[in-house]
Structure 1
Amino acid sequence: MTAKLKFTNLRRSSFFSTVREKVDNYFQEKDISKHGNTALWIKASIFLFGYFLLYILIISNPFPIPVMLLLAILLGVFSAFIGFNVCHDAMHGSLSANAKVNKAFSYTFHLVGANPYVWNISHNIVHHTYTNVAGHDEDIEIAPGLIRLSKEEKLNKLHRFQHLYAFPLYSLSSLSWLFRKDYKKFFQAKIGQHQAKHPKIEYFNLFFFKLLYCFIFIGGPLLLTDLSWWQVLIGFFALHFAQGLVMGLVFQLAHLVEETALPVPNKDGNIEDAWAEHQMKTTANFSSKSKLASFLLGGLNRQIEHHLFPKISHIHYPAISKIIKETAEAYKLPYIENNTFFGALKSHYNILKRFSTG
């Protein structure tokens, strides 16, 4: 699409200004920073320590093959948790009040095989603006031609089975990110509506860190262990299947469940809601009351709070969620949430089934 999509706010809603004022007052009254606190840094340290420990255990090669395979799977899971709890906050500038600290920790995204520069454009700029708008939000274009999530997409015969093959397909998302997605987005003319002239250093970073990642996770075990090449590749793919499945499922449950909208621009190419109202209609929470989910998923189970206030660290989402929910109710706006992970999973399955035929 070439037309510039706008949010026209035809009803002149004051929802966002009201909820922003209330949230600002909360932090002022508590006299606390909107950025990460001690609890967040402890959590980040746990996941980073676990990640490096698992890698060291693998290349030290003291275990039988089945245990090595399990360690590779766990390393993939920890990679996803680093993405959720460290990289995500850092790239949104909410990990620390110090921009240099955020920049430094954003480079941990290379530890999961992804490029932070491309992510900043496709996620922070495009997805957070044009959430769930087909043709604009590339985050909902999971596997074009294979997964259909909008009536605007052409239906083919394969789609009738998408509710059966989608979940295994999500496990490939991490490999796609490593070998295809970042390159495709970097070299295409536009990402959504964003057209950027990439700094020369980012061309170097894209190729250098991808090659470094492959050297560490394929070359390292080949050089430092007595594993055969095919055993190393099995471990590498197991790592990414685990990482891809965890990341893929969490991202889909935030925007593609039964209650979330997939807005279509009007004849003038605009969305008639205000931006914040649009976010409330296209974003969902799940397992909000689960302390375990909040610990592991870096606040991505509270996507409503994140989409309205991406510059606030996820460690504060449980507190500000009460403010947002009460304000949404006052403005008669939806506050979409599934009580459990499996409830959200079932809802996403129903979405896949809905768009598999009609």
Structure 2
Amino acid sequence: MKNPIFSKNIQPNFSKTLRSRVNAYFKLHGKNRNANRIMKVKTIIMLCLFFVPILVLSSGIVTSTVLLFALYIISGFGMSGIGMGVMHDAIHGSYSKNKKVNTFLGYTFNLIGANATVWRIQHNVLHHTYTNIEQADDDINAPFFLRFSPHAKYYWLHRFQHIYVWFFYGISTLSWVTTKDFVRLKRYYDMGFLNKKGEYPKTLASMIAWKVLYYSYALVLPMIMLPFSWWIVLLAFISMHFITGLMVSIVFQIAHIMPVNEFPLPNKEGQMNANWYAHQFATTANFSPNSKLMYWFIGGLNYQIEHHVLPDVCHIHYKKLATIVSETAKEFGMPYNVKRNLLHAIWDHVQMLRSLGKKPVLIPVEIQHNEF
């Protein structure tokens, strides 16, 4: 399908109003929209949370199987923290005003086995621009055994997806660091994203080199140094990724695959009946706004709405900006969906998966669009 086009004539003043109010907030409080000291300290903590246990494992001093798994699981939390709380801001360009700093910290994603180039296209371009739009948002373009959109093709096994989806959430990052990055890199090349001369082979070679480095220190070296059978170390390594995959998947999925979220489609000409900002409010939800620990650990992504409408602002400011965003949305008649806590959000996500798992009733009606 052609890239959907958002209306510029519906609520044209919203973006100017929101931006002016956000700029006024930073000016009034003498702050900049990038990382502050707290964010920099958190960056160090997250990097240590991942790398220190790996270093201990690579030293060969661990002789307890329980400690082996515990250290890998701790690294899993660190990997999650780097992914959601460091590289995410860096690749969005919101960590620093300095592009080189953002690029450098974006490579932390490569250090945990994934790929910054692929993520930038998948997340920054496709997901943030075309949130919840079937075929355009790559986050909801799931394998056939998962159905994340009411417009996706239905299969009978979807009726059980709310049960088995958690396993696939758990192995999602393991898929990233093995096959998915290569598959997506080729697809994005075919879509015209890597069209500079020699860009695709260079990116592919770089990806292979980064992944070899990652597997060398995160898996192979511990296998060599530790007094355990290789398969025990492999299981511990997989447990690290299962923790990371489960955490990251839940955080992103309960922000978009929810009963309160919409899945609008463009008309035959590719036009969306909403402006881009209205589309973000209609397709995104916040959760656990009062949890300071969650806000700190998951990179402010419980304030997903603020992230989507202000992706150039470091997440450390989302909580303070939430009032401005919610009040401006209310003023312009846009929804502002919030789930009071994590369990409530997960429960609603399960209900959405169950709903998407039911066989659609085919009724010949015209596609309904948002009217913001």
**TM-score, normalised relative to structure 1:** 0.95
Task: Indicate conservation of the 8 Å contact 1:80/1:112, yes or no.
Answer: no
Q: Which residue type is aligned with residue 251 of structure 1?
A: F
**Correspondence list, 1:1-358, <5 A:** 1=1, 3-60=2-59, 61-141=61-141, 143-188=142-187, 195-197=193-195, 199=199, 200-357=201-358, 358=360
Distance 1:276 1:39 in 2: 29
Separation in 1, partners of 2:192, 2:86: 25
**Other structure's SS at 2:129 match:** coil
User: Does the residue aligned with 1:7 lie in a helix, a strand or coil?
Assistant: coil
Give, in whole Å, the separation in 1 of the partners of 2:203 and 2:310: 28
Cα drift, residue 10 of structure 1: 4.6
- The amino acid of 2:279's aligned partner reads H
- How far did residue 194 of structure 1 move? 5.8
In 2: Cα distance, 1:250 partner to 1:189 partner: 25
Asked if 2 retains the 8 angstrom alpha-carbon contact of 1:76 and 1:240, the reply is: yes
**Alpha-carbon shift at residue 203 of structure 1 (Å):** 2.0
> Could you tell me whether the CA contact under 8 Å between 2:111 and 2:210 is conserved in 1?
no
Q: Give the AA of the match of 2:68.
A: M
The alpha-carbon distance between structure 1 residues 63 and 288, as it changes in their structure 2 partners (threshold 3 A), is farther
Q: Deviations over 1:205-255 (max 9, x none)?
A: 111111111111221112222222111111111111111111111110111
The Cα of 1:123 is off from its aligned counterpart by: 0.7
Structure 1 regions of 5+ residues with no counterpart?
Answer: none
Stretches of structure 2 lacking an aligned partner (at least 5 in a row): 361-372
| Counterpart-to-counterpart distance in 1, 2:258 and 2:151 | 17
Q: Secondary structure at the match of 1:25?
A: helix
Give 1:96 deviation, angstroms: 1.4
Shift of 1:299: 1.1
RMSD across aligned positions (CA): 1.5
Distance 2:340 2:231 in 1: 42
> Cα gap change, 1:164/1:285 in structure 2, threshold over 3 Å: closer, same or farther?
same
Instruction: Give the superposition deviation at 1:155.
Output: 1.2
- Quick one: distance in 1 between partners of 2:337 and 2:192? 29
The residue matched to 2:338 in structure 1 has which SS? strand
| Post-superposition offset of 1:126 | 1.3
Output the CA distance in 1 between the equivalents of 2:180 and 2:328. 38
- Whether the aligned pair in 1 keeps the contact of 2:62 and 2:226 (CA below 8 Å) is no
Once residues 56 and 234 of structure 1 are traced to their aligned partners in structure 2, the CA distance between those partners, rounded to angstroms, is 18
Shift of 1:165: 0.7
Distance 1:95 1:236, change over 3 A: same
Normalising by structure 2, report the TM-score.
Answer: 0.92
Shift of 1:122: 1.0
Matched positions, count: 355
- Is the 8 Å Cα contact of residues 92 and 124 (structure 1) preserved in structure 2? yes
Most deviating of 301-310 and 151-160: 151-160
| Identity %, equivalent residues | 37
